[in-house]
Structure 1
Amino acid sequence: MNKKYILSFVILFAAFVLAASPVETKTISGYITDSKDGESLPGATIFIKDLKIGSSSNNYGYYSISLPANNYEIVFSFLGYTDRVIDIRLMNDTTINIEMVSASEQLNEVVITEQSANANIISSQMSVNKISSKTIQAIPALMGEIDLIKALQLLPGVKFVAEGSSGLSVRGGSPDQNLILLDEATVYNSGHLMGFFSVFNNDAVKSVELYKGDLPSKYGGRLASLIDVRMKDGNIKEFHGNGGIGLISSRLMLEGPIAKNKASFMVAARRSYADVFLLLSSNENLRNNVLYFYDFNGKVNYSINKNNRIFLSGYMGKDVFKNGIFGMTWGNSTGTIRWNHIFHEKLFSNTAFVASRFNYDLGIPEGNSRAFNWGSSLTDYNLKSDYTWYMNSNNTITFGISMMHHTFFPGTIEGIGEESFITKYSLPNNYALESAIYLGNEQKLGSVFILKYGVRVSMFNNIGSATIFNYDNAGSVIDSTTYSSGNFFNTYTGFEPRLGAVFIVNEVSSIKASYSKNIQYIQQAQNSTAGSPLHIWFPASPNILPQIGHQIALGYFRNFKSGMFETSAEAYYKKTNNAIDFKDHADLLLNKYMEGEMLRGKGWSYGVEVMVKKATGKLTGWASYTFSKSIREIDGINDNKSYDSPYDRPNDVSIVANYILNKHISFGATWVYSTGQPVTFPVGRFEYNNTIIPVYSDRNSYRMPDYHRLDLSVTFKPENKSGKKWHNEFNISIYNAYNRHNAYMINFKSEPDTPDVTYAEMTYLFGIIPSFTYNFKF
């Protein structure tokens, strides 16, 4: 990497910032929170009516804005809350903590205000979607299980990987190109029950943001998207709880103060009981099966003083599947310690130590000649520190540093018991250090132009002990090199610029553009798009170059009827260098020569996303349409010709609606349509040594049937007696209401008496599935 790039950027950065520095100012700062439970409100809008300028609170609800000394009327607003208006004579630096009151919801309608309505117009960020836990709860659910990931799949530019799967393809990217964070900890597998449900308990979630390309400079390491999930801090004023009992799982969340207005806690637990229903089966084999998942969320926070606050949060989840001859478990665990510190009213910091682990184990129990246990895992430890400098009313500067240590344990298999003939075999561990520094600025140039620019400088080091194999062009091993423990034997560095611009056409419309470069140093080995957790994460190495992505995007945003309707249209183009795919019939599991199965090339995708959203009134929801293409060109695949990627689905439609009939009854509906998934089919066969060998078509030259589905729900809230704290809610959902048989896989078979005749057999997972859930809160 050329050091001149970094030096040039720093010089230009300083020149831009200093050129826009205004006259001497005074600062007003503080936290914006919910008046009822004390939860911070990230993204709340602060609007100075006299100057027609604004700002927003950060991820922890902190805000800071500098203004010339004068008298001001300041409006604080947040979607679903009543505006808070204060008049202030700003002559000195002032701290004002704002408590927002939830808007009166006569029919549980969302209330929108002029300032909060147009927040999407003046925001410097594009290609981002925010979705609330309340919105997620209103979406009809599979088997009654409220699912954050399924809700994200309904957004423009986001496609599900397979029927029922928790995997996401964002703007043509693969699932491993999504950075999924839970309180800043990486979640490597987002699915329960083979991906049919996500690992996120909606009762424990405060906010969700999906970035589809225009990532802030502080984030990196993935090419497609960032899914930033934040857990609730816990009610700091009163003890409360809520939960639910459904057909497949139950859940409970408790929160309350440890020291009122000083410290609080939140704990949540969830457990499925599919195995209980299996006991009712007339099939003895099914009765012997064990199938369930569970997860726990926990968080405590303590406000030491006005300038220091500590957070401790964690997650642990596990899936278990067992029958008489086979068993498999997998799960995630995360832990985060964070320290928020205010150096002074203009400088806010967040320092965190984060741990994350994903593992799976499978095997055959003792007492069998094939008894074995096979385990694999990935463990991260990350130390990071992020800073926000509210330099003045025109410049908000962010900078920081992070260092993450990866331990890749690709797998060990060993026999169990004296009868097993399986000998122990281990793949070598891999170790790596991924680090980065970043610098960025959001700069207002006058009243109609906002410029956002920054750079992330990343570094990736492979660390011994390790054995690196050298391959010829055919992927066969030539020789190897061994490195001792702790030896830094391979280094990649990356210069990742980010640039965005906003032109505010008027109060209700704007044009936005962005460019970003991202580098991904770790990826996943997977040869199927189904929800299996048996995937192996592996690092860049001397043989595997990091993937590099470039994305440009242009968008137009327009609001109507005082913000009742939000519309947007975005076009994007992405190019990926060093894209990875695998040889036909690649052997990926327990193969220490797996790097020899990989092929490298390029990929590109482009598309247009259109969305109309209604966020107020009895009827709320959105409709979106996405046209997109995702293409790869890999040497050694498809005769070196380009082909559709597995995630290419040109047409995608989502319609989401929630209608509140009255304060007791509401209805929900979603309808989705997408082009069928690309697949490779056999087109012929020949016999060789009495064995039938299939001949396949060009890579992904056929498609599954188009996918479409309608889901419906109705929610009933009984009249609550005056003064009673216990609230009940009953939900009935119908998944796949018109019983569409959407293809999950297609197998090709032939009958013994007609071996020369081959026919296709389609497998589908779900027909119509009704469900019932009882929810409560107190």
Structure 2
Amino acid sequence: MQKKIFALLGLLGVCFGLTAQTKFTISGTLKDKKSGEALIGATIRVLEFSNVGMTTNEYGFYSLSIPQGTYTFNVSYVGYTSVTEQVILKANVSKDWSLSDDNTLEEVVVRAVKDDENLTKATMGTEVLNVKEIAKIPVLFGEKDLVKAIQLMPGVKSNGEGSNGFSVRGGATDQNLILLDEAPVYNASHLLGFFSTFNSDAIKDATIIKGNSPAQFGGRLSSVLDVKMKEGNNKEYHASGGIGLISSRLTLEGPIQQEKSSFIISGRRTYVDMFAKLSPDFKDTELYFYDLNAKANLQINNKNKLFFSGYLGKDVLGFGKVFGSDWGNSTATIRWNSILSSKLFSNTSLIYSNYDFNISFLTDGEKINNNSNIKDINLGQDFSYYPNPKNTLRFGFSLIHHILTPNRFQSEGIISEQKSRKSLENAIYVNNSYQINDKINVDYGLRLSMYSILGGDTYNVYENNVLSKSILLAEGEIGESYLNLEPRISANYRINQTSSIKLGYARNTQSLHLLSNSTSGNPTDRWIGNSYNIKPEIADQISLGLSKNFVENKYELNVEGYYKLLQNQIDYKDGTDINTAPDIESQLLFGEGRAYGLEVLLKKKTGKLTGWIGYTLSKTERQINGINNDQWYNAKQDRTHDLSVVAIYNLSPKWSFGATFIYNTGNAVTFPTGKYDLNGIPTLQYGTRNDNRMPSTHRLDLSATYEKQKKGRFQSSWSFGLYNAYGQSNPYSIDFKENVDNPGKIEAVQLSLFRWLPSVTYNFKF
């Protein structure tokens, strides 16, 4: 292992040494001219060189080192007017650029990148979505939803009708790392999955990476969803919002210090409960969610800037005094950006994240409370070093302290003895993006992660699900530690001006696990960490891809195949209920997994009609000792076919129309094969694990947007939508009940939601 580390570091040195010579550096940031927002992924090119250029990082920073001379720089960002300017470089230069939004440009739907980036970048399985560009995609209740848009990408599967949970390349719901301004979000859905936690009015940018993530990301097996909040307009004050049938939202933003510092506050709330209370039958019913996003930035000087961002969201569901439940996320991030030199950029982050679930119910006159939560405090340090135009080096570390309370019951002053469990999850990493020549780009890195169990609780150790011993760890004591080395590499070879092939390998590990009896993910699901029984999950993924552009880059075809092997996968004994098991670890079974598939994405990027067709053919299986006679079986999230078609037509400056069509194979499930009486109680007998299928799902959604003529600073629009346009009865759940006329017969009863669901929303900005 040490030889591999030294070899990688040696390769880094070789890459830098090959281009070492006396050069000068031009560096700075790119911003939106109207709002002062940093532009992520904008392109800076030196026209005198065919292969010299770079893109800005997630903070809008760039750095280029080239020999002394006079050069023509072209700065561009899709949807903005490009800028071309000559710069005399005879010393290090600090230069910021501002680009103007060009409303006359034809809309690009999928990504805010240059036309042929898919042919030049080594990154694989990555899609960048801009919130402005997905606003016309029809969604449930007419609410712009980032997660719903991501689920329309190949390799990303919705976990069910009306659900915001998603599966990536055969991974489970918990195997997705979801970040909001670097803070992990442990439950990214509202109203049991019908909305996501992301208020699109507060979001600037989102990137989904399907397994081949750079080394700075870790802790999950399947994907990274990296979401960035807006920074706020630092030049003038604005208010915007929307009023819909079941929810409304309002955003305020403006400068704190003109052209230097700004703030943004964005809130959203549903009001289904207000309508419900008008009926005497539902006057005691509570059913709503709210969320609040806030962010501020303060410019200390030209080289240092502070950011403060936070999120607070909560769902409430209750029926008088009989039943009550609430759950939600809260996050806070303090970030310090510092330009240490013209070639070295630093980002230091202190992050807090909390997910909390509470439930109470009244039974036999006694109130019972149940609580589960997970809290994180994270210190992260990331450096970006730009030694020359061919290399971009990132390195740093993260230190995370977890406090997990899987389940705590309280009744009449009695609290269950289950304590919170503490742990440390730390990592160091290095990653380099290297342009070998005009045809070959390589992105490679190494991550060293360690998870340590901390004292303060007793850990049971099971052998073959039989208790063998218990280990008491005192406060401050360190128990079992797990160390893992995670190499990642991907390469792009440009065959010609219109084609390229890609190859990648990545190892990811995961030390936090979500215990769930459902596929889609419910608020009652519980997070647990590694223990003496539960070891880190490991995934090794190999990917091979082909990219092809047509008609002057107006059409783009991306095809990727992948094969993923998984270790230390978790499942349950037959009949396990995670909410009633006295010690859930006694019910866990462990084994292996595999997932493989083919993804096809065809996009039309310009013109009045834009959109994409995405298709996934895949297989996901598990082999767990103690299940299905130790033979391979379908994982819950296994689906053979997934098809999505997205089309947006801009008829005129006032009217635009959108349509999406989806089709997918039903999830793997276990249906009963018979019934027997147990002490006079009818009991269902189930067959082979996940050997049956939910019915297939298909649906057509439509939308129309009318942009009213702008009057001064005030602008507004109307959005109309029709969800499930042809009224398909798609399965939400299937229950099995005795036939009323023939009690000896069991019949399946399908529950369907949302037939012909219309929506209308009024949006405004001034």
Given candidates 161, 182, 200, the residue that maps to 1:202 is 200
Match of 1:539 among 529, 548, 554: 529
Once the 2 structures are TM-superposed, how far is the Cα of residue 590 of structure 1 from its aligned partner?
A: 5.7
Is contact 2:136-2:704 (8 Å) kept?
Answer: no
The 2-side partners of 1:683 and 1:264 are apart by: 62
CA 590–303 in structure 1, closer or farther in 2 if over 3 Å, else same: farther
Distance in 2 (alpha carbons) for counterparts of 1:109 and 1:4: 50
Q: Report how far residue 217 of structure 1 moved.
A: 0.6
Aligned-partner Cα distance in 1 for 2:496–2:255: 45
Partner SS for 1:14: helix
SS in 2 for 1:756: coil
Which aligned pairs between 1:22-41 and structure 2 lie closer than 5 A? Answer: 22-41=20-39
Q: CA deviation at 1:505?
A: 2.0
Counterpart of 2:81 in 1: which secondary structure?
coil
What's the counterpart of residue 58 of structure 2? 59
User: What residue in structure 2 maps to residue 239 of structure 1?
Assistant: 237
Alignment correspondent of 1:174: 172
Give the conservation status (yes or no) of the 8 Å contact 2:78–2:112. Answer: no
CA deviations over 1:611-644 (Å, ceiling 9, x no partner): 1112222111111111111111111111111111
- Aligned partner (choices 403, 409, 424) of residue 399 of structure 2: 403
Contact 1:181 1:229 in 2 (8 A): yes
CA distance in 1, matches of 2:446, 2:530: 22
- Contact 2:108–2:133 at 8 Å: present in 1 too? no
* Deviant stretches of 4+, over 4 Å: 110-115
Contact 1:77 1:115 in 2 (8 A): no
Give the TM-score of the pair, scaled to structure 1. Answer: 0.96
Q: Which residue of 1 aligns with 2:714?
A: 726
2: distance between equivalents of 1:617 and 1:477?
Answer: 65
2:578 alignment partner AA: L
Report 1:275-674 matches (<5 A): 275-281=273-279, 284-324=280-320, 325-364=322-361, 369-416=365-412, 423-473=414-464, 475-589=465-579, 591-674=581-664
User: 1:452, 1:499 within 8 Å by CA — same for their partners in 2?
Assistant: yes
Over 3 Å counting, the alpha-carbon distance change for 1:323 and 1:113 in structure 2 is closer
Letter in 2 for 1:278: A
SS in 2 for 1:285: helix
For 1:712 and 1:478, the matched residues in 2 are separated by 59
Deviation at 1:557, TM superposition (A): 1.2
What's the counterpart of residue 91 of structure 2? 92
Q: Is the 8 A contact 1:556 1:568 kept in 2?
A: yes
CA distance in 2, matches of 1:590, 1:188: 22
TM-aligned CA deviation for residue 368 of structure 1: 5.7
**Deviations 1:194-226 (CA, angstroms, capped at 9, x unpaired):** 111000000000000000011011010000000
Partner of 2:188: 190
Q: For the Cα contact (< 8 Å) 1:496–1:519, is it kept in 2? A: yes
Q: Distance in 2 between matches of 1:113 and 1:363?
A: 45
Distance of aligned partners of 1:187 and 1:444 in 2 relative to their CA distance in 1, 3 Å threshold: same
Shift of 1:50: 2.1
Q: How much has 1:12 moved relative to structure 2?
A: 3.7
Q: Per-residue deviation at 1:279?
A: 2.3
Q: Which residue of 1 aligns with 2:251?
A: 253
Q: What is the CA distance between 1:114 and its match in structure 2? A: 13
2:175–2:221 Cα contact (<8 Å) kept:
yes
What is the match of residue 45 of structure 1? 43
Q: Distance in 2 between matches of 1:105 and 1:264?
A: 28
AA aligned to 1:309 is K
Query: Are the equivalent residues in 2 in contact too, given 1:112–1:564 (CA < 8 A)?
Result: no
In 2 relative to 1, CA 351–491 (structure 1 residues): closer, same or farther, beyond 3 Å?
Answer: same
For residues 584 and 521 of structure 2, the distance between their equivalents in structure 1, rounded to whole angstroms, comes to: 21
Task: Give 1:375's aligned amino acid.
Answer: N
Q: Distance in 1 between matches of 2:193 and 2:37?
A: 31
CA contact (8 A) 1:237 1:257 kept: yes
Q: Which runs of 5+ in 1 are unaligned?
A: 418-422
- Deviation of 1:773 after TM superposition, in Å, equals 0.5
Q: Is the 8 A contact 2:460 2:532 kept in 1?
A: no
* Partner Cα distance (1:39, 1:356) in 2: 25
1:114–1:268 distance in 2 versus 1, CA, 3 Å = closer
The root-mean-square deviation of aligned C-alpha atoms, in Å, is 1.8
Aligned twin of 2:735: 747
- How many residues end up aligned between the 2 structures? 764
Query: Residue 420 of structure 1 aligns with which residue?
Result: none
Residue 81 to residue 508, structure 1, CA distance change in 2 (3 Å): farther
Residue 115 to residue 143, structure 1, CA distance change in 2 (3 Å): closer
How many angstroms does 1:477 deviate by? 2.1
What does 1:692-703 align with in structure 2 at a 5 Å threshold? 692-703=682-693
Aligned AA (1:321):
L
Q: CA deviation at 1:706?
A: 0.8
**8 Å contact 2:73–2:86 — kept in the other structure?**
yes
Residue 683 of structure 1 is aligned with which of 664, 673, 676?
A: 673
Supply the distance in 2 between the matched residues of 1:500 and 1:401 (Cα, whole angstroms): 22
**Residue 688 of structure 1: how far off its partner (Å):** 4.2
| Displacement after TM superposition at 1:512 (Å) | 1.4
8 Å contact kept, 1:376–1:409: yes
CA distance in 2, matches of 1:658, 1:140: 10
Letter in 2 for 1:523: H
Bigger drift between 475-484 and 632-641 goes to 475-484
Q: CA deviation at 1:429?
A: 1.4
Q: Which residue of 2 aligns with 1:164?
A: 162
Superimposed CA distance per residue, residues 291-342 of structure 1 (whole angstroms, 9 cap, x where no aligned partner): 1000100000011111101000000000111112100000000000000011
Structure 2: runs of 5+ lacking an equivalent: none
Give TM-score, length-normalised by structure 2.
Answer: 0.97
Q: Given that residues 427 and 590 in structure 1 are in contact (C-alpha distance below 8 angstroms), is that contact kept between their aligned partners in structure 2?
A: no
Q: Sequence identity of aligned pairs in percent?
A: 43
Deviation at 1:753, TM superposition (A): 4.8
SS of 1:101 mapped into structure 2: strand
Report the CA distance between 1:752 and its aligned residue: 5.1
Q: Distance in 1 between matches of 2:653 and 2:167?
A: 37
Aligned match of 1:767 in 755, 759, 763? 755
Counterpart-to-counterpart distance in 2, 1:206 and 1:236: 15
Partners of 1:103 and 1:111 within 8 A in 2? no
Matched residue of 2:132: which SS?
helix
The secondary structure found in structure 1 opposite 2:114 is helix
Amino acid at match of 2:334: I
